[in-house]
Homo-oligomer: A and B are copies of this chain.
Amino acid sequence: MTSRTPAETARDIPEATVARLPVYLRALISLIEHGISTCSSEELARAAGVNSAKLRKDLSYLGSYGTRGVGYDVAYLRYQIAREIGVTQDWPVVIVGIGNLGHALANFSGFRSRGFRVVALLDADPARQEESVSGIRIRPFDHLETIVAEHSVAIGVIATPAHAAQDVADHMVTSGIRSILNFAPTVLSVPEGVDVRKVDLSIELQILAYHEQRKTQGESA
């Protein structure tokens, strides 16, 4: 095995693997909290809810951090995954649209513990701007560009109604944000180089409904 400087870390991790790394990270943190210092791929895979072969292959993209015949050092692996994902330092985040959902997000303590820090809450409604949520004052939406520049914000969260989401996204992009998490049920179009991920309650429920319908049909037939 060749020694591996951070700079020459493998460049191309498959997208499916990237999506699972946070799950492994969480499982490792849970193991640490239970005082477990070493684990096999089998155990970690069970904790993460995946196949152990898949887990091993996923980890192999990061490097060779296990020991054959022994398993993985939990704390070491945790650090390596966190470093690979990029959550060893906190990422500044802005949330736009502080309604029902925005309030819940702003109050959500899981943010800070997972490598993110809410630096600003923005809303277009002046009535909202009197308010503070968990110690952060709600500010006017047109402060976006200033705030992004000031805090080097790279990640924006959209929690506005669907009809406002594209406009908000456009402003985020011109302000320099290149990663967007969208809770509004709408397709965003953004330039090349900007990543958008969506979280969509209705879609998830509809997928469940589809399968539920099939189950029920099979029953009555």
Contacts and interface: CB of A to CB of B under 8 A. Distances in A.
A160 interface: no
Interface stretch (A16-24, A52-60, A64-72): A16-24
Interface of A: 18-19, 21-23, 25-27, 47-49, 84-87, 91, 93, 100-101, 103-105, 107-108, 110-111, 114-116, 154-155, 178-181, 185-187, 189, 193, 195, 197, 199-213, 215-216
Contacts of A21: 206, 210
Given A49-B189, A100-B104, A104-B103, A110 B201 contact: yes
B209 A86 contact: yes
24 contacts: A19-B207, A23-B203, A25-B206, A26-B202, A27-B187, A49-B189, A85-B206, A85-B209, A86-B212, A87-B209, A100-B104, A100-B107, A105-B201, A108-B201, A114-B202, A114-B206, A155-B205, A155-B212, A178-B212, A179-B208, A179-B212, A181-B201, A199-B199, A199-B201
Given A103-B100, A104-B101, A216-B154, A208 B197 contact: yes
Nearest to A49: B187
A207 B197 contact: yes
